[in-house]
Amino acid sequence: MVGLVISLLEPASKGSPQSLNFEWIPQLGLHVTLRADSFGLFIALIITVIGAGIFSYTSEYMGDDSGTGSIIGWLLFFMASMLGVVLADNIVLLFVSWELTSISSYILIGSNHRDPEARAGAKTALLVTAIGGLSLLAAVVLLGLATGVWNLSELPPMHDHPWVLSIFILICLAAFSKSAQWPFCFWLPGAMAAPTPISAYLHSATMVKAGVILLARMHPILSEHAAWTPTLVLISSASMIVVIFAILKATDLKALLAHSTVGALALMVCLIGIGTSYALNAMTVFLLAHACYKAPLFLVAGSIDHAVHNRNINALGGLANKMPYTTITACLAGISMMGLPPMLGFAAKEMILEAGLSYAPWLIALITVLVTAFVMVACCVVLIPAFGKNQFLAKKAHESPWSMLVPMLLISLIGLFSGLGLSPLERYLIAPAVISLGVKPTALGLWHGFTPHLALSALAILAGWLAYSKRHVLYKRIPILPSGLLIHDIIWNAVLGFGRSLTRIIQNGSLTSYLGTTIIVTCALILYAWVQVDAPTRPSLVQKITLAELSAGLLIMASSLATAFARQRLPAIAALGSMGMGMTLFFIVSQAPDLALTQFLVEILAVVLLVVAFRHLPDFVGEPIKIQTGRLVISALTGLTMMVLTLVALSTDYGQRVSLWHGLNALKQGHGANVVNVILVDFRALDTLGEITVLSIAALGVGVLMGSLKQTKKEAT
């Protein structure tokens, strides 16, 4: 895979990126379109190179664990999903790949499903990224509908479109949730319960960078909108401030690295928000530098945990003699993380400071210096296991196998050689990548003379060293900010509480309540739709009401009221039968003798069955008037709804009447002269089959009921 990505770099750098296109959903005009542009290949190279190292590390780290094969399989699936995110040109495919990374990361984070902390971290990560996924889906749909274009490379700038603000907000939600920016920054440290190789891969080169990649892709499309720069700069600044407080409180190696990752991502988002050519160049260089030092540091943390089974910085120390190669890796990656020469991290930090000074000399420079200082604190704390004074756990420490050492050493050396070879790095990777983002490349160099940003860099290193030396004092003095995880838990518990309360109300075990709720909601929806569409309710053909029809209607209404307010079963059954007789009379008046006969027989059978069944039930006590009144209201609402539907049906012109069609086609298509029989057997065969099924079930129920009554009678005698 690495070789394939490298082979595609040259045509992409010459402005002729390779693409792959084939039909996906032809009915919707959607295609699977992959486009290997320079920026996508730049990220893909990071994903594949670091992924190869992670796979080698994982097989040894997991050992004989039965889940090793599953984890490696899901890591491969995750890698493919991330490659889909960075190489997808079709925005629908981008969304699908985005969601696949959320699903696979959920499985990877919760791979140790017996650990409650791992399950909680996986759940939180899934919920937060799901919010971003839904936002991205809405943004993709709006982008496609607004522009008529479904490929990223063809999307035009949208600063003046009426929907641009909505699209921008949705894109920000998607990017901030994925890249753990405020207020979503709480989920990333919680995902540290995953095995170390998973944390290293997800947090250095892949998942958390997806939000940054999305914002970079959207920069040519949305950056001209007035809200772009202020929003990204403010949100990233808030994330950096949270990181400053969190770093001083962290005691777990992986959690410490996770908090520093949030700060690094915030710097990238801030640079994209600034949006100048130099800022985007700095973001691209820093993206590579971060991957080259953060992955080895996570792997170092995993090696330490693998050796002494402890990641608490207060219990570690003196490992340099027992784990020399791990210590070398930690020092190389740590120097790059601190931003010291000649590592690539130094060049990236200098560019970040210069970009900040060019935008807002005081605000951005101050925040960047503070974050750089506290990242140095984090780096110094990470090196405690190697050079700390605590020697207790060092007695049982041992160096990691070469299959674990080689990947982290090689990745950290990439950061060193990249810093020493900035010219070829710029020519073959950085410059083509930033050109594909629509900006001009900037010359890279380790030394730019004595400049203000160099002075700020030195100030940040000094401030970081002072903060590190006084970290125990700061630990006591720095207040604990309200955790986003606490807010998440409050919202989560509130949602669950609301669900339980709602369940107690609507799932109370009462069939009467269920039926009433269903009827009310159905009637309300029908009446709402009727009001919205302004349907006609004045029949074009109004017939006079005859005395027989009026009598049948009055009988039905009176019987209904008598049934509702009956205090005993027998009068209620009699009133119900009387209502059925009224329906029979209505059918006779309407010249439907077959329906009248059916209704008459059903009513007789129903009355007999009810009398037989109710004889064996306990005495009936009438419901309170309040409950009966509520049921009367529901009945009136149902009647009103049916009246509206009837009036709408009578007032609507459907063109040719169905009865005429049946008369013309009964003999021709049904081969029968009796139109009614043809309708029942041919035109409405499934309806007739349903009626027969209902009658059969009713007959079966009657048979069972009568049999049980006979059995009860025999037992009684």
Q: Which residue has the higher pLDDT, 511 or 43?
A: 43
Calpha distance 46→42 (Å, rounded):
7
Find the mean pLDDT for residues 274-279. 88
Quote the pLDDT of residue 363: 66
Other CB atoms within a 10 A radius of the CB of residue 242 amount to 23
Judged against a pLDDT cut of 90, whether residue 136 lies above it is answered with yes
> Under a CB-based contact definition with an 8 Å cutoff, are residues 228 and 273 in contact?
yes
| Residues facing 19 on adjacent strands | 35
- The DSSP code for 110 is T
Quote the pLDDT of residue 565: 74
Q: How many CA atoms does the CB half-sphere of 302 hold within 13 Å? A: 28
Dihedral of the alpha carbons of 161, 165, 167, 173, in degrees to the nearest 10: 170
- Provide CB contacts within 8 A for 454, sequence distance 6+: 350, 448
Quote the pLDDT of residue 543: 63
- The DSSP code for 331 is H
Calpha distance 358→369 (Å, rounded):
15
Max alpha carbon distance in the chain (Å)? Answer: 113
Q: Which of 464-478, 560-574, 623-637 has the highest mean pLDDT?
A: 560-574
Residue 509 gets the label, from left (phi > 0), alpha (psi -120 to 50) or beta, of: left
Single-letter amino acid code for the residue at 51: G
Residue 171 — very low, low, confident or very high, per pLDDT cuts 50/70/90? very high
| Residues facing 136 on adjacent strands | none
Dihedral of the alpha carbons of 284, 285, 288, 292, in degrees to the nearest 10: -160
> What ranges do the domains of the chain cover?
2-489, 501-653
Q: Which residue has the higher pLDDT, 127 or 27?
A: 127
Calpha distance 341→344 (Å, rounded):
8
At residue 21, the 3 state secondary structure works out as strand
Single-letter amino acid code for the residue at 490: I
| Best CA proximity match to 283, nearest among 297, 258, 266, 259 | 266
Calpha distance 298→206 (Å, rounded):
14
Of 260-274, 407-421, 463-477, 685-699, least confident by mean pLDDT is: 463-477
pLDDT digits over 662-673, tens only?
787 888 888 888
Query: Could you tell me the two tokens for 404?
Result: 């674990």
- In angstroms, the Cα distances linking 21 to 15, 156, 310, 625, 661 are 18, 21, 49, 70, 50
- Provide CB contacts within 8 A for 529, sequence distance 6+: none
Residue 13, Cβ density class (10 Å: 0-12 exposed, 13-18 middle, ≥19 buried)? buried
| Best CA proximity match to 353, nearest among 434, 461, 225, 467 | 461
- The DSSP code for 27 is G
- In angstroms, the Cα distances linking 197 to 48, 269, 324, 451, 590 are 14, 25, 20, 39, 79
Residue 284 — very low, low, confident or very high, per pLDDT cuts 50/70/90? very high
Burial 480-503 (b: 16+ CB within 10 A, else e): eeeebbeebeeeeeeeeeeeeeee
Judged against a pLDDT cut of 80, whether residue 220 lies above it is answered with yes
Specify the DSSP element, H or E, that contains 5: helix 2-13
Q: Which residue has the higher pLDDT, 598 or 81?
A: 81
At residue 286, the 3 state secondary structure works out as helix
Quote the pLDDT of residue 483: 53
pTM: 0.72
Find the mean pLDDT for residues 478-484. 59
Helical H segments across 507-592, by residue range: 511-533, 547-565, 569-589
Specify the DSSP element, H or E, that contains 253: helix 253-274
Single-letter amino acid code for the residue at 479: P
Burial 637-676 (b: 16+ CB within 10 A, else e): beeebeebeebbeeeeeeeeeeeeebeeebeeebeeeebe
Calpha distance 403→560 (Å, rounded):
83
> Under a CB-based contact definition with an 8 Å cutoff, are residues 339 and 349 in contact?
yes
Find tokens 């049916």 and name the residue.
642
674 φ/ψ angles, rounded to the nearest 5 degrees: -85, 105
Q: How many CA atoms does the CB half-sphere of 250 hold within 13 Å? A: 28
End-to-end CA distance of the chain: 86
Of 291-300, 423-432, 666-675, least confident by mean pLDDT is: 666-675
Q: Which residue has the higher pLDDT, 170 or 707?
A: 170
- In angstroms, the Cα distances linking 540 to 536, 622, 647 are 10, 45, 10
Quote the pLDDT of residue 96: 92
Query: Quick one: what percent of the chain has pLDDT higher than 90?
Result: 12
SS (H, E, C) 634-662: HHHHHHHHHHHHHHHHHHCCCCCCHHHHH
Find the mean pLDDT for residues 234-244. 84
Quote the pLDDT of residue 160: 81
Find the mean pLDDT for residues 698-702. 79
Mean pLDDT, the chain, integer: 82
- In angstroms, the Cα distances linking 612 to 509, 602, 606, 616, 708 are 27, 15, 10, 8, 12
Of 359-368, 635-644, 691-700, least confident by mean pLDDT is: 359-368
| Best CA proximity match to 57, nearest among 255, 199, 261 | 199
- In angstroms, the Cα distances linking 266 to 154, 239, 281, 283 are 28, 6, 16, 11
Calpha distance 527→644 (Å, rounded):
8
Percent of the chain that is helix, strand, coil (3-state, to 5): 75, 5, 20
CA angle (455 as vertex; 450, 458 as ends), nearest 5: 120
Dihedral of the alpha carbons of 34, 37, 41, 42, in degrees to the nearest 10: -150
Q: Which of 297-301, 372-376, 489-493, 658-662 has the highest mean pLDDT?
A: 297-301
Distance of CA 35 to the CA centre of its chain: 25
pLDDT digits over 301-334, tens only?
888 888 888 888 777 878 888 888 888 898 898 8
Find the mean pLDDT for residues 554-568. 82
| Best CA proximity match to 226, nearest among 149, 160, 302, 322 | 160
Residue 486 — very low, low, confident or very high, per pLDDT cuts 50/70/90? low
